[in-house]
C-alpha cells in the first residue's frame, strides 16, 4: 500500500476566552472544583458572527501552507463535526467554497472520535489510489449546543478547529495502524436529542433544552477511562510497536483525569503527552488536531518519532492511530 502520512498541520481558536471565574458568575461552580475534577482553566468561544466553517477555514489555510501546497492541489475535504453550520449543505462544502477549492467534500459524524474516523477514511481513499491527498479538518462551535445553565456540562466545552493535509510520504513513515470502534448501545449517554428527524425543533424541544448537549457524565467517564487506554494499546500493537516506543501521545482532551489514566495504562509519563485541556476544554472533533498542531508548533515532534492519537466520544465511538512522523 502507498505510505500515507501528515504533510502539514494547522489550527485556529477564537479570540474570546471564557474563564472558570466567569463561569462562577453564571452557574453554581468554582474554579477549584473545575480544575481538580477536569483540569480545565479556560476555553475559547466563537464570536457571534463566527460559525464552524469559519474556524475550519482558518485552520485549513494554515495546514495547506504548512504542507507546502496550494488550494488547487487539494483533492478531497473531510470535515469532522457535530456542530455543522446547518443541517445541509455540509460544512465541508461551505469550507470548500471559502477556500476556493473544487474537490469533493463531505462531513463525517463521529462526535469526539470524528477526526480519527476521518483520518482513517481519507487514508483508505488515498491508499486505494482514488486521491493523492486530503484535507482533514476537525472543527466545532460547541458553545452553540451548550446549555450555560447546566453546570454539569457548561464547564467542559469550547470552540476551535484543527486541520491536517495527508498524502504520500516516504516508505516506513506515516500511518502504521488504525483502530475504530462504536457501541450504539451507549448512544443515550451523550446526545443532542432535538433538531433531527426524531424530534424536529418545536417550542417544546426548545423549552426542554433538547437542542443542547445532554451527558451522563459519570457513565461516559467510566467508558472513557476504559476505552482510551485499550484503543491506544490496540493501535500500538497493530503497528508492531510496544508502549515504550511511543514518543508522543496526542489524546482527546475531555478530562485530565481520563488522560492520566490512559497514561498510566500505557506506562507513559505526563511529558509524553500533549496536554492543552487547561486552555481549551473539550473541543470534540477539534481537540486532537489542535493538540497535534501545537505539538508541531512547539517542536515536540521530530522525524522518526512514533505518535499515538486517540479519542472517544458520543455514539459511543472511539478511534486511535499510530503514525511515524
Annotated active-site positions, please? 112, 252, 282
| Helix pair 31-38, 256-265: axis angle to 10 deg | 20
CB 319 within 8 A of CB 117: yes
CB of 28 to ligand ACO, least distance (A): 7
- Which region among 121-129, 151-159, 201-209, 265-273 touches ligand ACO (by CB under 6 A)? 151-159
HEC profile for 114-182? Answer: HHHHHHHHHHHHHHCCCCCEEEEEEEEEHHHHCCCCCHHHHCCECEEEEEEEEEECCCCCEEEEEEEEE
Nearest CB to ligand ACO, comparing residues 7 and 161 = 161
Question: With binding defined as CB under 6 A, does residue 52 bind ligand ACO?
Answer: no
CB of 112 to ligand ACO, least distance (A): 4
CB 213 within 8 A of CB 146: yes
Nearest CB to ligand ACO, comparing residues 175 and 312 = 312
Question: With binding defined as CB under 6 A, does residue 61 bind ligand ACO?
Answer: no
- Which region among 31-39, 44-52, 235-243, 291-299 touches ligand ACO (by CB under 6 A)? 31-39
Among 190, 248, 268, 308, binds ligand ACO (CB under 6 A): 190
Return the sign of the alpha-carbon dihedral for residues 251, 318, 16, 10. Answer: positive
Question: With binding defined as CB under 6 A, does residue 253 bind ligand ACO?
Answer: no
Residues in contact with 278: Cβ distance below 8 Å, sequence separation at least 6, in sequence order: 39, 40, 41, 42, 256
Among 38, 133, 143, 177, binds ligand ACO (CB under 6 A): 38
CB 252 within 8 A of CB 312: yes
Question: With binding defined as CB under 6 A, does residue 277 bind ligand ACO?
Answer: no
- Which region among 53-61, 150-158, 201-209, 266-274 touches ligand ACO (by CB under 6 A)? 150-158
CB of 77 to ligand ACO, least distance (A): 22
Query: Which regions of 183-315 does DSSP assign to beta strands (E)?
Result: 190-191, 214-215, 248-251, 306-313
Question: With binding defined as CB under 6 A, does residue 314 bind ligand ACO?
Answer: yes
Question: With binding defined as CB under 6 A, does residue 260 bind ligand ACO?
Answer: no
Question: With binding defined as CB under 6 A, does residue 313 bind ligand ACO?
Answer: yes
Binding to ligand ACO in span 154-173, by CB under 6 A: 155
Size of the site for ligand ACO (CB under 6 A): 23
CB 272 within 8 A of CB 126: no
Angle formed at CA 24 by CA 22 and CA 28, multiple of 5 degrees: 150
Question: With binding defined as CB under 6 A, does residue 199 bind ligand ACO?
Answer: no
Smallest CA-to-CA distance from 300 within 320, 325, 323, 264 is with 325
Instruction: Record the cell numbers describing residue 92, joined without a space.
Output: 465541508
Question: With binding defined as CB under 6 A, does residue 148 bind ligand ACO?
Answer: no
Question: With binding defined as CB under 6 A, does residue 8 bind ligand ACO?
Answer: no
Nearest CB to ligand ACO, comparing residues 209 and 300 = 209
Question: With binding defined as CB under 6 A, does residue 214 bind ligand ACO?
Answer: no
Q: Which residues bind ligand ACO (CB under 6 A)?
A: 29, 33-34, 37-38, 111-112, 151-152, 155, 190, 217-218, 220-221, 224, 254-255, 258, 282, 284, 313-314
Amino acid at each position: 500500500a502507498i505510505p500515507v502520512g501528515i504533510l502539514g498541520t494547522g489550527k485556529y481558536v477564537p479570540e474570546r476566552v471564557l474563564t472558570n471565574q466567569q463561569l462562577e458568575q453564571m452557574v453554581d461552580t468554582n474554579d477549584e472544583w473545575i480544575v481538580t475534577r477536569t483540569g480545565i482553566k479556560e476555553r475559547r468561544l466563537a464570536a457571534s458572527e463566527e460559525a464552524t466553517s469559519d474556524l475550519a477555514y482558518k485552520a485549513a489555510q494554515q495546514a495547506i501552507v504548512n504542507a507546502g501546497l496550494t488550494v488547487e492541489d487539494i483533492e478531497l475535504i473531510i470535515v469532522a463535526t457535530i456542530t455543522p453550520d446547518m443541517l445541509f449543505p455540509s460544512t465541508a462544502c461551505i469550507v470548500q467554497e471559502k477556500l476556493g477549492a473544487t474537490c469533493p467534500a463531505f462531513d463525517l459524524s463521529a462526535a469526539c472520535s470524528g477526526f480519527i474516523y476521518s483520518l482513517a477514511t481519507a487514508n483508505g481513499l488515498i491508499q486505494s489510489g482514488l486521491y493523492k491527498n486530503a484535507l482533514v479538518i476537525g472543527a466545532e462551535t460547541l458553545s452553540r449546543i451548550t446549555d450555560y445553565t447546566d453546570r454539569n456540562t457548561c464547564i467542559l466545552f469550547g470552540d476551535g478547529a484543527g486541520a491536517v493535509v495527508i498524502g504520500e510520504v516516504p516508505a516506513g513513515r506515516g500511518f502504521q495502524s488504525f483502530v475504530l470502534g462504536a457501541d450504539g448501545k451507549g448512544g443515550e449517554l451523550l446526545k443532542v436529542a432535538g433538531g433531527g428527524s426524531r424530534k424536529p425543533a418545536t417550542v417544546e424541544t426548545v423549552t426542554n433544552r433538547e437542542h443542547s448537549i445532554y451527558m451522563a457524565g459519570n457513565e461516559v467517564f467510566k467508558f472513557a477511562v476504559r476505552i482510551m487506554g485499550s484503543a491506544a494499546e490496540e493501535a500500538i500493537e497493530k503497528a508492531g510497536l510496544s508502549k515504550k516506543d511511543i514518543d508522543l501521545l496526542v489524546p482527546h482532551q475531555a478530562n485530565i483525569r481520563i488522560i492520566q489514566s490512559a497514561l498510566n495504562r500505557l506506562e507513559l509519563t505526563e511529558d509524553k503527552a500533549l496536554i492543552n485541556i487547561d486552555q481549551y476544554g473539550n473541543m470534540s472533533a477539534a481537540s486532537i488536531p489542535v493538540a497535534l498542531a501545537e505539538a508541531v508548533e512547539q517542536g515536540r515532534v521530530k522525524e522518526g518519532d512514533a505518535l499515538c492519537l486517540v479519542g472517544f466520544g458520543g455514539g459511543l465511538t472511539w478511534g486511535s492511530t499510530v503514525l511515524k512522523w
